[in-house]
Amino acid sequence: MRQAPVTTIGFDADDTLWQNERFFRATEDRFLDLIADFGDRATLATRLFAVEKRNIPLYGFGIKGFMLSMMETALEASDGRLAPAVVADILAMGRDMLSQPVELLPEVRETLEALSDRYPLLLITKGDLGDQERKLVQSGLGGLFRAVEIVSDKSDATYARVFAARGDGPERGLMVGNSLRSDILPALAAGAFAVHVPHELTWSYEHVEAAVAHPRLFVEEHIRKVADRIEIINASGDDLTK
Ligand SMILES: [Mg+2]
């Protein structure tokens, strides 16, 4: 009997299941207002992004690292003349982000509920451990996943490991996410299928310059279309898996 190519489905969380980047953008705007005395806005924004990128290997992804990068950018831009009140404001902005209520994207719950009847679902996300756990609890989606993997970064090896441990291996896994860099390219490299569901806001770090084409890659404009896409892949049989 022919086996369905896809048996296990992985989902990214931030900007795939719930809003995330919009809170970073809003905080960045407030931050740039706060340090407006120390340079022009575009230069300060570029500087912040450079500091964030430099700090990823040290702090990882997430709000706490972002807070430290804002602090560092402000200190650098002000030549160390930063008022303590500004430091307090930066810390307060970070705490606001960490207590921001979770806002599910449209039709996420219905989509996951329908899929979870037929497939084991995995949540595969990077970021601050405690913050991602908090958002998952608040989302009320936790019970729909067979397993939750909060990882420090998403590489080929991450997807190979997770789909092997929690499914039938990467070749029979499918990853759904908004980031080409973190969700799609490494999942494809691991041998999995991938469905890219772009979000209108995506952090510069996650952008990929080149157009991507791959026999196992599909693009859907809305998460509600993911279930149909998987049915099409599975109905086409295992020739796609070669
Ligand atoms: Mg994402």
Report the b/e string of 153-186 with b at 16+ CB within 10 A. Answer: ebebebbbebbeebbeebbbbbbbbbbbebbbbb
Q: Are residues 74 and 126 in the same domain?
A: no
Give me the pLDDT at residue 242, please.
Answer: 47
Q: Does the structure show a pLDDT above 50 at 108? A: yes
Q: Does the structure show a pLDDT above 80 at 32? A: yes
Taking the centre of ligand 1 as the mean of its atom positions, its distance from the CA of residue 62, in whole angstroms, is 12
Taking the centre of ligand 1 as the mean of its atom positions, its distance from the CA of residue 198, in whole angstroms, is 9
Locate tokens 């993911």: which residue? 226
Q: Which long-range contacts (CB under 8 A, 24 or more apart) does 47-55 make?
A: 47/73, 47/76, 47/77, 48/73, 49/204, 49/205, 51/76, 52/205, 53/205
Q: Is residue 191 in some structural domain? A: yes
Q: Are residues 112 and 222 in the same domain?
A: yes
* pTM check: above 0.85: yes
Q: Is residue 3 in some structural domain? A: no
Q: Are residues 113 and 209 in the same domain?
A: yes
From 66, 98, 130, the end of a domain falls on 98
* CATH code, 153: 3.40.50.1000
From 64, 98, 132, the end of a domain falls on 98
Q: Are residues 116 and 220 in the same domain?
A: yes
Taking the centre of ligand 1 as the mean of its atom positions, its distance from the CA of residue 81, in whole angstroms, is 36
Q: What is the mean pLDDT of residues 106-130?
A: 95
19 vs 240, residue with greater confidence: 19
Taking the centre of ligand 1 as the mean of its atom positions, its distance from the CA of residue 222, in whole angstroms, is 14
185 token code pair: 């390219």
Q: Is residue 218 in some structural domain? A: yes
Give me the pLDDT at residue 11, please.
Answer: 98
Q: Is residue 1 in some structural domain? A: no
Taking the centre of ligand 1 as the mean of its atom positions, its distance from the CA of residue 15, in whole angstroms, is 5
Taking the centre of ligand 1 as the mean of its atom positions, its distance from the CA of residue 100, in whole angstroms, is 17
Q: Is residue 184 in some structural domain? A: yes
Listed in sequence order, the residues at least 6 apart from 46 whose beta carbon sits closer than 8 Å to its beta carbon are none
SS (H, E, C) 97-133: HHCCCCCECCCHHHHHHHHHCCCCEEEEEECCHHHHH
Q: Are residues 14 and 27 in the same domain?
A: no
Q: Is residue 242 in some structural domain? A: no
Q: Does the structure show a pLDDT above 50 at 82? A: yes
Please list the residues that pair with 177 across neighbouring strands: 196
CA distance 233 to 93: 44
Residues 158-173 pLDDT 10s: 999 999 999 999 999 9
Q: Is residue 161 in some structural domain? A: yes
Name the residue range of residue 77's domain. Answer: 21-98
Q: CA angle at residue 170 from 60 to 152, to 5 degrees?
A: 10
Q: Are residues 78 and 160 in the same domain?
A: no
Mean pLDDT of the chain: 93
From 65, 98, 131, the end of a domain falls on 98
Q: Are residues 87 and 63 in the same domain?
A: yes
Who surrounds ion ligand 1 at CB < 5 A? Answer: 12, 14-15, 178-179
Taking the centre of ligand 1 as the mean of its atom positions, its distance from the CA of residue 174, in whole angstroms, is 15
Q: Is residue 112 in some structural domain? A: yes
Residues 198-231 pLDDT 10s: 998 777 777 777 778 899 999 999 999 999 999 9
Q: Are residues 163 and 61 in the same domain?
A: no
Q: Are residues 112 and 213 in the same domain?
A: yes
CA distance 53 to 69: 9
Say how many C-beta atoms besides its own lie within 10 A of residue 23's C-beta.
16
Number of structural domains (the chain) is 2
Q: Are residues 108 and 217 in the same domain?
A: yes
Residues 58-78 pLDDT 10s: 998 899 999 999 999 999 999
Locate tokens 């340079």: which residue? 39
Please list the residues that pair with 219 across neighbouring strands: 196
